């Protein structure tokens, strides 16, 4: 199943810099691993914001919940999720 996931990060302004660096480092490694597995298919930064729009390719809602709730930045995110399906006018067979 494909899902569009929008994530906006809201780190506390009083978070120590070394803690923020650690969380961001772990977040990057986790995101890269999910991309290599093909679970996190697309990742785009939203210009001018600490936010992204992503496409996840997972088995079901439960797998998506598990993956995003394990993001190191998850406690500091506002997240919206929308399931996607193939558009009948799409010229691409594999939706990639």
pLDDT digit string (tens) for 32-66? 999 999 999 999 999 999 999 999 999 999 999 99
pLDDT, residue 88, reads 87
Is residue 92, in this structure, part of any structural domain at all? Answer: no
Is residue 8, in this structure, part of any structural domain at all? Answer: yes
Q: Is 77 in contact with 5 (CB distance < 8 Å)?
A: no
Is residue 73, in this structure, part of any structural domain at all? Answer: yes
In terms of Cα–Cα distance, which of 91, 90, 94 is closest to 57? Answer: 94
Is residue 43, in this structure, part of any structural domain at all? Answer: yes
Number of domain units in the chain: 1
Domain containing residue 13: CATH number: 3.30.70.1060
Residue ranges of E strands in the chain: 2-9, 40-45, 51-57, 77-84
Is residue 39, in this structure, part of any structural domain at all? Answer: yes
Is residue 90, in this structure, part of any structural domain at all? Answer: no
Is residue 11, in this structure, part of any structural domain at all? Answer: yes
Judged against a pLDDT cut of 70, whether residue 21 lies above it is answered with: yes
Question: 67-95 pLDDT, tens per residue?
Answer: 999 999 999 999 999 999 888 898 887 76
Q: Is 12 in contact with 77 (CB distance < 8 Å)?
A: no
Is residue 89, in this structure, part of any structural domain at all? Answer: no
- Quick one: average pLDDT of 9-34? 98
């Amino acid at each position: 199943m494909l899902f569009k996931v929008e994530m906006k990060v809201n780190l506390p302004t009083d978070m120590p810099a070394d803690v923020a660096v650690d969380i961001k480092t772990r977040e990057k490694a986790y995101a890269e691993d999910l991309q290599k597995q093909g679970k996190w298919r697309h990742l785009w930064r939203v210009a001018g914001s600490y936010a992204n729009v992503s496409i996840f390719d997972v088995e079901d809602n439960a797998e998506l919940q598990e993956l995003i709730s394990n993001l190191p930045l998850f406690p500091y995110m506002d997240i919206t999720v929308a399931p996607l399906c193939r558009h009948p006018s799409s010229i691409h067979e594999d939706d990639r």
